[in-house]
Structure 1
Amino acid sequence: MVDVIVVGGGIIGLTAAMRLRERGAEVTVWAPSGPEQTVSAVAAAVWYPTRTLFEPRVLAWAAATYDQFRRHAFARVPGVLVRETRNLERDGAAGEPWWAPAARGVRYLPIDPPWTREIRFQAPLVEMGTYLPWLRERLVAAGARVVRRRVDRLEEALVEAPVVVNATGLAAGTLCGDPDVFPVRGQIVRVANPGIIVSVRDQGDPGTYVHPRSRDVVLGGTWQANNWNTAPDPATRDAILERCVALVPELAGAPIVGEEAGLRPARRGGPRVEAEKWPAGTVVHAYGHGGAGMTLCWGTADEVASLVCDESLTVR
C-alpha cells in the first residue's frame, strides 16, 4: 500500500506529487505515457490566467505559482525563463485586472489604437520539453515512483491506495462522470528566434501571442471549444503566422521549426480542486484548468497537498 496515487503525469499531476512528497506522503504517479506526450508539453506555458474567471483561491494559486517559477528561474532550473511581457488590450478596461496582484509589479502604459491600454509585467515562461523531464527526475530522486499505467476507472487506484489524486485533465470527464469537462483545441507554431526577448499578447479574438524562448518563438493562438482534432491545420498555421508577423514584424521570414495542436482540459465553472469520499477511499480532484495549467499548477499542488494531508484523510 502507498499513501497516495496521483493519476496523471502532466504539469498538474507532477507538481501535486512533488508537494505531497515534500510533506512526507508516499507517492506513486500513474500515467499512460511520459510527460513529453501530455498536453502540458504542447502548451506555450507562459504565466497568464488565460480565460480564467476570478476566485480568491484561483488568485492564490496564480500567485503561488508565479513565485515558485520565479524561484526556479533564479535557481537556473532547466527550461524556466522570465520574460518582459506586453499585454495589448482592446476592451477599454481601466481598472486593475484581477490577476495583477499575483504578478508583482504590473505597469500600465498608453498605446495607440486599435489597442486601448498596454499592461507590462514580467512573466515566467517554461520550456516544457525541458522542464517536465527535470521535474519527473526530481520527483523520483525525492523517493516517489512513476509508473506507466493507463486506468479506465479511478477505483483501480483506490484498490492500492486510500487516497487518489485525480489529475487526469480531459479524461476526468469520463473517469468521474463530470459533464462540465470539454476540450478546447489550441494550435501553436514554433519559429527560430531571430533575437526577440519580449513576449507580446494581443487581446483580440482570436487572441494572438508571441512568446520567445531560448532558441525558438512560440506563436499562437487559437481557442476552439469542443474541437477534438489534434492534427495541425495548415490554414490555421498561416493565419497565426500572419497575425504574429503583423504584431512583431521582426518575425518576418523566420523559419518554421515545428507546429503542434493540443486539447486544453477546460471545465464549465472553472477548475475542480476538492476532496470527495468514494466507497473505496478518498479522491482529491485536480482538473479543469483549461489554458491555465502552468499558471495555476504549483498553487493547485499546495491545495491538493493540504487536502490530502488533512487529518480526516489520515495519510500514513
Structure 2
Amino acid sequence: MAKDVLVLGAGVIGLTTAVCLARAGHRVRVWAELPPERTTSAVASGIWGPRERPRELAWSRISFAEFSRLARIPESGVHFERGLEVSDVSQPPPWVQDLVDVRFCTPDELPEGMRAGLWATTPLIDLPRYLRYLTEELAAAEIVIESRTVRDLAEATAAASIVVNCTGVGAAALTGDPEVRPVRGQHVILRNPGLTYYYCEAVDTPEWTSFYPHGDRLILGGIRQPDDWTLTPDPALSERILQRCIAIEPKLAAAEILGHEVGLRPGRPEPRLEPESRDGATVIHNYGHDGVGVTLSWGSAQEVVRMTAEIAGR
C-alpha cells in the first residue's frame, strides 16, 4: 500500500532513502535545511568500504550491488578503481575477498610502518556528480527537495504519517540523541596529475594518508576530529595532509591545489535505524552513519523501505 512519506535531509542517506521509497511506489516529499551540494556528503571522499558488524556488512553488500549497476551509467559518478589499502594493525578480514577483487600485498609492497595490505578494485563515488544524479532521479519522479529547517519533529509528523529522519549530525539537536557527535574531516583537492589508483591507510591514529581519484580531481585526506564543529579549513592540517600524500606519491608535489573542504561526519557508535511512534505518526530514524554513509546508503535505505511496508500493511 502506497503511503505519504516525508524524508528529512538531502545528504546521501536522505536522497538514497527517498529514491528507494519512490521506487517502491510511495508518495515522497523531501525537506532539507541544506541543498545536496552543501551537505557533508558533497565533500566526502566517496570510497566504498564494508563494515564488519553483521547488519552493516549486509547493508554494505546491498550498496556494492547497486554501485556495480550504477558504474555502467557514466553520469552517476560511480566508477571502479584499483587501489592500495594498508594497515599498521592487522590483515583485513577474509570475507573482503568475497566482495571485491583483491590481492594481498607482499612485504616489499608495503609502505614503511605498515604491517598488512591489499590491492583491491573498489567502487569510488564522485559525490558532487552522484548527488546530482540522485536529485535528477527524484526530479524525474516529480519529487522536489523543499528548503525547510525543522526544529521539532512535531513539525514533520504534522505533515506526514511516516517521517524518515536522515538529518545526519543535525539529529543530535532534533532528537536529543546524546550519542550523536560531529567528527570533523578535512580534504585537500588537487588537479589530478594522472593518477588512476587510490591509496588509503587504516591506522589507529586521528591522522592518516589517503587519496582518491575522481576524474580530473584528486581528494587527499585524512583526519578525524571528534566534537569539533569548525567548518573553516586549517592551513597547517592541509599542509600535513599534502606532505603525507606526496611522500607516498611524489607526482603530487607539482599538482595544482584546487581547494580545501571540511565536513562534519555524523558520528555515533553505530547507525540508528529504527521506528518510533510520535504524535500518532511513525518516525523512522536513519542517521549516525559516521564516515561510511556512502557504503551503507543503499542497504539502510532498503531497510527503511521494508519498515515502511510493514507500517503500511498494519
TM-score normalized by structure 2?
0.93
Counterpart AA for 1:223: R
**Would you identify which runs of 4 or more consecutive aligned residues in structure 1 move more than 6 Å?**
none
Shift of 1:125: 1.2
Q: Give 1:110's aligned residue.
A: 106
Q: Does 1:85 align with 2:61?
A: no
What are the equivalent positions in structure 2 for 1:10-159 lying under 5 Å apart? 10-49=11-50, 54-91=52-89, 93-94=90-91, 96=93, 100=96, 103-112=99-108, 113-159=112-158
- Deviation string 1:116-153 (CA, Å, 9 cap, x unpaired) is 22212111111111111221111121232321111101
Contact persistence 1:190–1:259 (CA under 8 A):
yes
Alpha-carbon spacing, 1:97–1:201, altered in 2? closer, same or farther (3 Å)? farther
The 2-side partners of 1:245 and 1:103 are apart by 30
Unpaired runs of 5+ residues, structure 1, are none
Contact persistence 1:46–1:123 (CA under 8 A):
yes
Counterpart AA for 1:292: V
Shift of 1:96: 2.0
Q: Give 2:6's aligned residue.
A: 5
Shift of 1:33: 2.5
The 2-side partners of 1:234 and 1:94 are apart by 34
SS of the aligned residue for 2:49 comes to coil
SS of the aligned residue for 2:45 comes to coil
Question: Which shows bigger deviation, 70-79 or 155-164?
Answer: 70-79
SS of the aligned residue for 1:252 comes to helix
Alpha-carbon spacing, 1:95–1:41, altered in 2? closer, same or farther (3 Å)? closer
The 2-side partners of 1:293 and 1:111 are apart by 32
Structure 1 or 2: larger helix share?
Answer: 2
Shift of 1:176: 1.2
Q: Give 1:188's aligned residue.
A: 187
Shift of 1:279: 2.6
Contact persistence 1:47–1:66 (CA under 8 A):
yes
Counterpart AA for 2:173: T
Question: Which shows bigger deviation, 117-126 or 222-231?
Answer: 117-126
SS of the aligned residue for 1:277 comes to strand
The 1-side partners of 2:63 and 2:92 are apart by 23
- Deviation string 1:285-309 (CA, Å, 9 cap, x unpaired) is 1000000011111111111111111
Q: Give 2:283's aligned residue.
A: 283
Shift of 1:314: 4.0
**Percent identity at matched positions?**
40
SS of the aligned residue for 1:296 comes to helix
The 2-side partners of 1:6 and 1:89 are apart by 38
Shift of 1:95: 5.7
Contact persistence 1:103–1:122 (CA under 8 A):
no
How many equivalent pairs are there? 308
SS of the aligned residue for 2:277 comes to strand
Shift of 1:258: 1.0
- Deviation string 1:249-286 (CA, Å, 9 cap, x unpaired) is 12112110011111000112x10011111233100010
The 2-side partners of 1:227 and 1:111 are apart by 37
The 2-side partners of 1:197 and 1:95 are apart by 23
Shift of 1:102: 6.2
Say what the alpha-carbon RMSD is for the aligned residues.
1.8
